[in-house]
Structure 1
Amino acid sequence: MDIRKLDAQNWLTLDKNYMDEHRVRNQLLHEKRSEVLQCLPESVDACHEALEEVSDFLCERFPNNFDMNIKNNQKIVDNCMTGDKFTVSGRDPNEGVADALEAAVRLTMEDLSVLMMNGEGEYYLAASASLFPTGWTVQQRIGWTISQLHGPVPLWHQHVANSVDKFLARLTPTSPMERSNYFIEVKRPDEDLTEILYRPKALCEKELVNPLPSEILVRRERQTFRRLPRTGAIVFGVKTYLTPLEELPMQELNNLAKEMRSWPDYVGEYKGKHLWGAKVLEYYQKQVEEGKIEPEKYED
């Protein structure tokens, strides 16, 4: 799982892509709200607590960008970059169940999901604002257990499922954790940022079987896990980073090529290697020939 302790000061992030991604989030929440945002009725308290935790963190960590005010017995968070204002506490009890989580994800650069435990002791997706998905939508999978969500992942049930269950059970409000994940994405030349980030079907279009290096992106996910102190639900955050293959540091390119060669066929198929693998290795070999990378030595 590659789980490691999360520095609590770095739970949520803010970088130079904030405004561009904020515009994408606004567009998706306006045009595809039901596809990217779903909350089951039992998640309402956890979603409100998640908004409180997100708002308090952002105001403390980034005081030049976020501000908290008290007005008419309500806490209101002000996004100084966008002008958005959201009521954090003292919210109207008649508002929609998804409104609190929507407010939280409009503030962050992270997608946010709420995991709760069902009667069988399994964690399930009780609420989610997943605007930058890879091969699925929240509308399809709301209510699914962790095991169901990872059904397509090779060897998940054999090698990882028990570890994940134990990890989630041990998570406490004072022990947030994180892990990293990555995919290779192939984009069409005419795609805009919304189309690149919102990938509900596939990261690699089948017709793009001979992509240029400029059309290949390394799509990283920084995944965070934090248990909420009041409701006990778990907030699962995902920050997406996009790096064009041509901008990948040479050491990372070397590591990618080495890892690709180690994949069994079923892992390569799951990751779409047959669509982009030859081009990545061709680009890698070019860097080796130009002396930019010291080639790895492999036994025959």
Structure 2
Amino acid sequence: MAPYPAQPIKGRERYRIMMDIRKLDVQNWLTLDQNYMEEHRVRDDLLREKREKVLQCLPESQDACQEALGEVSDFLCDRFPNMFQKVVQDGNCFIRNRMTGEQFDIGGAPGGETIDALEAAVRLTMEDLSILMMNEDGEYYLAASASLFPTGWTVEERIGWTISRLHQPVPLWHQHVASSVSKFLARLTPTSPMERSNYFVEIKRPDENLIEILYRPKGLCEKDICSPSPEEILIRRERQTFRRLPKTGTILFGVKTYLTPLDQLPMQELENLATEMKSWPHYVGEYKGKEVWGAKVLEFYQSRVSQVDKVEV
């Protein structure tokens, strides 16, 4: 299966952080595609070798994590019955992954071994999953997270942080959307799931494997790479989903990561990227790593424009 269509780069001529929230495509809340097995191997390696860095669950999130696993299992078995099925053994209900051979107790234990419910959930999905809970001050915070494909952070560092603190480094986030995000999360209901998308630009080294490309806790742009080729410049997109869990009332936050090499980006999106780059204030460009890849992106865009002009002539 081809990946679920990522939201295109829109080409805004004026820079402003926007929530861009829209109704969730509920039939495709969780998605599977041709990259599933390759990414599953990456997720398995990360959970075995860097478990504490990518998976953290505070004690108060236990019930929510169990509920999340149940929701994920129900959805996958209904949406992809040829790939996932529920089986009952000795009075316990399991979900079986026909692609990997894994089997997880809906309560969170595979093959009799103890495993966190949230870990079981992200071993089934292509999405990273997190639980957001409200604290005594009325702020949502990261109560549990299986974030295997982070950009510039790790769960181990930020578990327990409020949404506001998590976005502290993002230029203009607090001025433009902080209040709207708080109101949006507070108003989310079990019957009104939502989604949004964003994108980054990532630089990969020629010798990097998929784990090193997807797991980027130190950031997306190495400053010692001064002249990346179009094949080494990736458009890294995230589809983010928000669901209020009906039993615990917590929010299940999902993130699906997509990678598109610059030289495979459609011409219209390439033009839109060039347009948006020109609108960024200097400090925004610095935050995004533009000094590393910006000149090469514009150079590649101009070369594509020249090719189109020659064809039309």
Question: Do they superpose with TM above 0.5?
Answer: yes
Asked whether 1:12 is paired with 2:30, we answer: yes
Asked whether 1:29 is paired with 2:47, we answer: yes
Name which of 63, 72, 81 aligns with 1:54. 72
Asked whether 1:200 is paired with 2:221, we answer: no
Name which of 101, 104, 107 aligns with 1:86. 104
CA distance 1:37–1:292, change in 2 (3 Å): farther
Q: Tell me the residue number matched to 1:138.
A: 155
Q: Tell me the residue number matched to 1:283.
A: 300
Q: Tell me the residue number matched to 1:250.
A: 267
Name which of 101, 110, 132 aligns with 2:118. 101
Q: Does the CA contact (< 8 Å) of 1:115 and 1:233 recur in 2?
A: yes
C-alpha displacement of 1:90: 8.3
C-alpha displacement of 1:89: 3.8
Identity %: 74
* In structure 2, distance between residues paired with 1:70 and 1:289: 62
**1:40-91 deviation per Cα after TM superposition (whole angstroms, max 9, x unaligned):** 0000000000000000000000001100112222110000000000000486
* In structure 1, distance between residues paired with 2:26 and 2:289: 35
* In structure 2, distance between residues paired with 1:95 and 1:269: 46
CA distance 1:127–1:185, change in 2 (3 Å): same
- Secondary structure of the 1:44 match is helix
* In structure 2, distance between residues paired with 1:69 and 1:211: 50
* In structure 2, distance between residues paired with 1:19 and 1:43: 29
Asked whether 1:260 is paired with 2:277, we answer: yes
Q: Which runs of 5+ in 2 are unaligned?
A: 1-18
One-letter identity of the residue aligned with 1:231: T
**1:162-190 deviation per Cα after TM superposition (whole angstroms, max 9, x unaligned):** 00000000101111100001000000000
With a CA cutoff of 8 Å and minimum separation of 6, indicate the structure with the bigger relative contact order: 2
Q: Report the more deviating stretch, 154-163 or 130-139.
A: 154-163
- Secondary structure of the 1:78 match is strand
* In structure 2, distance between residues paired with 1:200 and 1:51: 26
Q: Does the CA contact (< 8 Å) of 1:250 and 1:292 recur in 2?
A: no
Alignment of 1:68-217 (within 5 A): 68-89=86-107, 99-217=116-234
One-letter identity of the residue aligned with 2:307: E
**1:6-60 deviation per Cα after TM superposition (whole angstroms, max 9, x unaligned):** 0211100000000000000000000000000000000000000000000000000
Q: Would you say how many aligned residue pairs link Structure 1 and Structure 2?
A: 292
* In structure 1, distance between residues paired with 2:276 and 2:173: 19
Q: Which runs of 5+ in 1 are unaligned?
A: 295-300
- Secondary structure of the 1:240 match is strand
Q: Tell me the residue number matched to 2:8.
A: none
- Secondary structure of the 2:152 match is coil
CA distance 1:269–1:6, change in 2 (3 Å): same
C-alpha displacement of 1:157: 1.1
One-letter identity of the residue aligned with 1:53: E
- Secondary structure of the 2:63 match is helix
* In structure 1, distance between residues paired with 2:64 and 2:309: 50
TM-score by length of 2: 0.91
CA distance 1:211–1:91, change in 2 (3 Å): closer
* In structure 2, distance between residues paired with 1:83 and 1:95: 15
C-alpha displacement of 1:158: 1.0
CA distance 1:292–1:245, change in 2 (3 Å): farther
Q: Tell me the residue number matched to 1:297.
A: none
**1:80-121 deviation per Cα after TM superposition (whole angstroms, max 9, x unaligned):** 0000000004869x986x710000000000000000000000
Q: Does the CA contact (< 8 Å) of 2:109 and 2:116 recur in 1?
A: no
- Secondary structure of the 1:291 match is helix
Q: Does the CA contact (< 8 Å) of 1:250 and 1:293 recur in 2?
A: no
Name which of 16, 20, 29 aligns with 1:2. 20
Task: State the superposition RMSD in angstroms.
Answer: 1.7
* In structure 1, distance between residues paired with 2:35 and 2:137: 41
* In structure 2, distance between residues paired with 1:222 and 1:185: 16
* In structure 2, distance between residues paired with 1:104 and 1:70: 18
